[in-house]
């Protein structure tokens, strides 16, 4: 047995299951436990949730909702064109087309199992397969379109359970001189920031570079560059190529592998320490909420993110503590948060005048939110966050 459990985040719902009624019968819950594989160094959920329960035609998350992300993907596409000049682009997990729309639609293909999202990109003339990423799909795409110069996947590979098949299928679809760019939350940043909300049903894995390196080593692929991004509270952008492609391998890789080693990514004790920090974080966050409620403060949530679902359910922060969430995503509005049943409403131009505190569910967009909410801040309105430790801002 190489998988060692270090964290139990209790009873958790499906994060994408925004409820139509506040107290439904038979809501699905499972026990979210996190394990470390001391052989591969992969950190994952102990139990994988069937994909159909999470990625279906009512999928709520729209990547294009954030101005920050729209700009980030536009800038990235310019950078990719300058560095690699790809003739054809395949995106695995194309969401609402936020990345692919920056490329010529004749040479861009999407893979997106959530049909409501695939419909959006298909209507933008970006051919999109509403299927899960598998070897069978990889072969089908090759038969129709050949191999690709660029394969891109952000916040998706961590959702796929069978990583061996995933990487083999990517290797098949990637041209010999092609580049695969993978982005996912960084495990090192999760540990540094005690941002345990990166663990939720969809995130079957939270990756270190060390673990990805171990995985790709088993294929004909290898990492040739790595960048640390601010997105989603700290993500790795990993550049992968075929071993036979002689693109120069960046010194960044040995640097980051060394940094991860120094920070104990390879050792179970690191995760035990992290789990203790999580328990402390829960205690301190709940204390903040309890103290504020005792003095009759009015608290809302800002951004009903999937991430925040883990925090709310683990910390027992329900409608008693949080009056409602504001969220710009249309198909979350008028619904209730999974498990904790807090109403979600459409935001007004600014946080309402009767609100004293706003809990940052979307803490990863703090900058964007603070610049939007200047009026609230100027009148003395405060924010609550749990990252990097529970505090009032």
Residues that bind ligand TMP (CB under 6 A): 61, 65-66, 303, 305-306, 326-329, 332, 362, 364-365, 368-369, 372
**CB atoms inside a 10 Å sphere around CB 127:** 16
3-state secondary structure the chain: CCEEEEEEEEEEECCCCCECCCCCCCCCEEEEEEEEECCCCCEEECCCCCHHHHCCCCCCCCHHHCHHHHHHHHHHHHHHHHHHCCCCEEEECCCCCCCHHHCCHHHEEEECCCHHHHHHHHHCCCEEECCCCCHHHHHHHHHHHCCEEEEEEECCHHHCCCHHHHHHHHHHHEEEEEEEEEEEEEHHHHHHHCCHHHCCCCCCEEECHHHHHHHHCCCCEEEEEEEEECHHHCEEEEEEEECCCCCCCCCHHHHHHHHHHHCCCCCHHHHHHHHHHHHHHHHHHHHHHHHHHHCCCCEEEECCCHHHHHHHHHHCCCCCCCCCEECCCHHHCCCECCCCCCEEECCCCCCCCCCCEEEECCHHHHHHHHHHCHHHHHCCCEEEECCCCCEEC
Cβ proximity to ligand TMP, 199 vs 306, nearer residue: 306
Pick 208 or 305: Cβ nearer ligand TMP: 305
Contacts of 164 (CB under 8 A, 6+ apart): 215, 218
Between 188 and 360, CB nearer to ligand TMP: 360
Order of strands across the sheet that contains 43-45 = 3-13, 29-37, 43-45, 205-206
Nearer to ligand TMP, 277 or 333 (CB): 333
When CB distances to ligand TMP are compared, the closest residue is: 303
**Residue 127 CB, nearest approach to ligand TMP (Å):** 25
Residue among 171 and 337 whose Cβ is closer to ligand TMP:
337
Of 188, 193, 392, whose CA–CA distance to 278 is shortest? 193
Cβ of residue 332: shortest distance to ligand TMP, in angstroms?
6
If the CB atoms of residues 68 and 277 are measured against ligand TMP, the closer one turns out to be 68
Question: What is the smallest separation between the CB atom of 47 and ligand TMP, expressed in angstroms?
Answer: 22
Nearest-angstrom CA–CA distance, 150 and 87: 8
Which residue's CB is nearer to ligand TMP, number 96 or number 225? 96
- Least gap, CB of 327 to ligand TMP (angstroms): 4
Min separation Cβ 92 and ligand TMP, Å: 18
Min CB(313)–ligand TMP separation in Å: 16
Nearer to ligand TMP, 17 or 364 (CB): 364
For the four alpha carbons of 20, 21, 23 and 26, in that order, the dihedral sign comes to: negative
Distance, in Å, from the CA atom of 117 to the CA atom of 63, rounded to the nearest integer, reads 10
Nearer to ligand TMP, 80 or 362 (CB): 362
Least spacing, CB of residue 112 vs ligand TMP, in Å: 16
Please say whether the beta carbons of 328 and 306 come within 8 A: no
**Shortest spacing between CB 295 and ligand TMP, in angstroms:** 27
- Of 167 and 306, which CB lies nearer to ligand TMP in the complex structure? 306
Shorter beta-carbon distance to ligand TMP: residue 213 or 235: 235
Cβ at position 176, least distance to ligand TMP in Å: 35
Q: How far is the CB of 349 from ligand TMP (least distance, A)?
A: 12
Min dist. Cβ of residue 68 to ligand TMP (A): 6
């Amino acid at each position: 047995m190489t998988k060692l459990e270090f964290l139990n985040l209790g009873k958790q719902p499906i994060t994408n299951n925004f409820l139509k009624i506040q107290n439904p019968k038979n809501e699905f819950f499972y026990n979210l436990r996190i394990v470390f594989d001391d052989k591969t160094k992969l950190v994952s959920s102990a139990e994988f949730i069937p994909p159909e329960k999470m990625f279906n035609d009512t999928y709520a998350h729209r990547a294009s909702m954030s101005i920050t992300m729209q700009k980030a993907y536009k800038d990235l596409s310019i950078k990719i064109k300058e560095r690699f000049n790809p003739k054809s682009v395949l995106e695995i997990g194309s969401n609402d087309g936020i990345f692919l729309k920056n490329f010529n639609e004749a040479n861009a293909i999407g893979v997106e199992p959530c049909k409501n999202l695939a419909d959006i990109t298909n209507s933008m003339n970006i051919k999109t397969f509403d299927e899960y990423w598998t070897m069978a799909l990889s072969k089908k795409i090759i038969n129709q379109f050949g191999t690709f110069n660029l394969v891109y996947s952000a916040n998706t590979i961590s959702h796929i359970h069978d990583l061996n098949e995933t990487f083999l299928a990517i290797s098949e679809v990637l041209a010999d001189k092609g580049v695969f760019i993978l982005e996912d939350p960084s495990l090192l940043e999760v540990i540094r920031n005690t941002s345990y909300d990166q663990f939720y049903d969809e995130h079957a894995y939270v990756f270190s570079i060390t673990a990805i390196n171990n995985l790709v080593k088993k294929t004909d692929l290898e990492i040739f560059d790595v960048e640390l991004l601010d997105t989603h509270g700290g993500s790795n952008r990993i550049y992968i190529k075929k071993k036979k492609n002689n693109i120069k391998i960046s010194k960044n890789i040995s640097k980051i592998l060394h940094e991860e080693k120094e920070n104990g990514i390879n050792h179970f004790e690191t995760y035990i320490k992290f789990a203790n920090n999580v328990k402390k974080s829960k205690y301190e966050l709940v204390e903040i909420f309890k103290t504020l409620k005792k003095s009759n403060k009015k608290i809302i949530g800002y951004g009903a993110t999937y991430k925040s679902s883990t925090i709310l359910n683990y910390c027992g922060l329900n409608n008693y503590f949080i009056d409602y969430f504001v969220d710009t995503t249309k198909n979350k509005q008028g619904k209730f948060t999974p498990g904790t049943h807090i109403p979600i409403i459409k935001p007004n131009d600014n946080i309402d005048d009767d609100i004293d505190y706003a809990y940052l569910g979307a803490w990863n967009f703090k900058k964007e939110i603070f610049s939007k909410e200047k009026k609230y801040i100027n009148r003395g309105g405060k924010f609550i966050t749990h990252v990097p430790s529970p505090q009032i801002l």
